[in-house]
Amino acid sequence: MNPVLHVRAFQDNYIWLIRGRSPDRVAIIDPGDAEPVLEALETQRLQPAAILCTHHHGDHVGGVEDILKHYSVPVYGPARERIPAITHRLNEGDHVKIPGLGLGFEVLDVPGHTAGHIAYYGTGMLFCGDTLFSAGCGRLFEGTAEQMHASLSKFSALPESTAMYCGHEYTEANLRFALAVEPGNLHAQTYRDQARDLRAKNLPTLPSRIGLERQVNPFLRVHTPDVRHSAEKHIGGRLDTEVEVFAAIRRWKDGFRG
Ligand code: ZN
Ligand code: FE
């Protein structure tokens, strides 16, 4: 049994439904829209046990209040962001035990995309919202390059078998950029072909694995000579630290039309 189901929302958002010990109860991650979630719950005869939010953006929390009109469940989210209807405010190191699901998550503070963004890690799974994407990372809307680099380093240090569930299907576009940064990265080339096949069948490329991300994701590879040299070539100057390399490729990606 697949422990995690996906619900599509908007253009390219994923809302994740995590099954626990009892097969008909789920935790809902980042419900930006209520309608597709309510429909999935009904057609698959699932009962929500909790809602977990990673950050305050509308495409991640916009459906929370409407879901609560149908189901009374606890809502977990970042302590440092304003999200209506949150019942449990979380910080780094907090442990979330979802009642009735037998699932536990550790909370990681991962600022960068937003100032109070959190991620949930447990049972070999990582739910990272818009901080890490497969082969990419979130834009810096509220945080600094330094913060984002530190947040991504936390993810990179997790076991390589960790299944990574992020908030958007951006993998193919991200791989076009990854291969602009590292044209010779064979892992990224193979992954691009796999991602293309999956998307052609309208299947998600997710979850990814942390081990794979370490091989293909340029934002987790700012310590490598290849990524640094490529970033230096792009800006036409020297980059001395990993944070500088990170900032340079993040800006490069912001303007990249692959
Ligand atoms: Zn976001
Ligand atoms: Fe988002």
Question: What is the CA(57)–ligand 2 centre distance, in A?
Answer: 6
Residue-wise burial string across 61-79, b where 16 or more C-beta atoms lie within 10 A, e elsewhere? bbbbeebbeeeebbbbbbe
Nearest bound ligand to the CA of residue 110: 1
Mean pLDDT, residues 7-32 taken together? 95
Over the range 215-227, which residues count as b (16 or more CB within 10 Å of their CB) and which as e? bbbbbbbbeeeeb
Q: What tens digit of pLDDT does each residue of 84-137 get? A: 899 999 999 999 999 788 899 999 999 999 999 999 999 999 999 999 999 999
Q: Say if residue 200's pLDDT is above 90.
A: yes
Catalytic positions: 55, 57, 59-60, 113, 130, 168
Answer whether 120's CB lies under 8 Å from 110's CB: no
The model carries a pTM of 0.98
Mean pLDDT in residue range 71-85: 97
Say how many Å lie between the CA of residue 113 and the centre of ligand 2: 9
Q: According to the model, what pLDDT value does residue 21 have? A: 82
In eight-state DSSP terms, residue 3 is S
Indicate if the pLDDT at residue 191 is higher than 60.
yes
Q: Is 139 left (phi over 0), alpha (psi -120 to 50) or beta?
A: beta
Is 46 found in the same domain as 22?
yes
Beta bridge partners of 50: 27
Rg (CA), the chain: 18
> Please, which pLDDT band fits residue 178 given cuts at 50, 70 and 90?
very high
DSSP-assigned beta bridge partners for residue 168: 13
| DSSP letters for 158-170 | S-TT-EEE-SB--
pLDDT at 1 over 60: no
Query: How confident is residue 22, by pLDDT bands cut at 50, 70 and 90?
Result: confident
Tell whether 155 and 187 lie within a shared domain.
Answer: no
The per-residue pLDDT of the chain, averaged, comes to 97
What is the 129 CA–ligand 2 centroid distance (Å)? 7
Same domain, 135 and 224: no
Same domain membership, residue 150 and residue 25: yes
Which residue, of 117, 143, 165, is where some domain finishes? 165
215 and 175, same structural domain?
yes
Co-location of 157 and 211 in the same domain: no
Same domain, 180 and 160: no
Q: Which ligand is nearest to the CA of 15?
A: 2
Q: Specify whether 42 is located in the same domain as 118.
A: yes
**Structural domain boundaries enclosing 15:** 4-165
Last residue of a domain, one of 136, 165, 194: 165
* 216 and 137 within one domain: no
Last residue of a domain, one of 142, 165, 188: 165
Ligand 1 centre to CA of 178 (Å) is 21
On whether both 32 and 138 belong to a single domain, the answer is: yes
C-alpha of residue 78 to centroid of ligand 2, in Å: 15
Whether 150 and 180 share a structural domain: no
pLDDT of residue 100: 81
Indicate the SS3 state at residue 55: coil
CATH of the domain at 145: 3.60.15.10
pLDDT value, residue 99: 79
For the chain, the domain total comes to 2
pLDDT digits (tens, 9 = 90+) for 210-239: 999 999 999 999 999 999 999 999 999 999
Same domain as 96, residue 44: yes
Question: Residue 32 CA: which ligand is closest?
Answer: 2
Dihedral class, residue 129 (left if φ above 0, else alpha if ψ from -120 to 50, else beta) = left
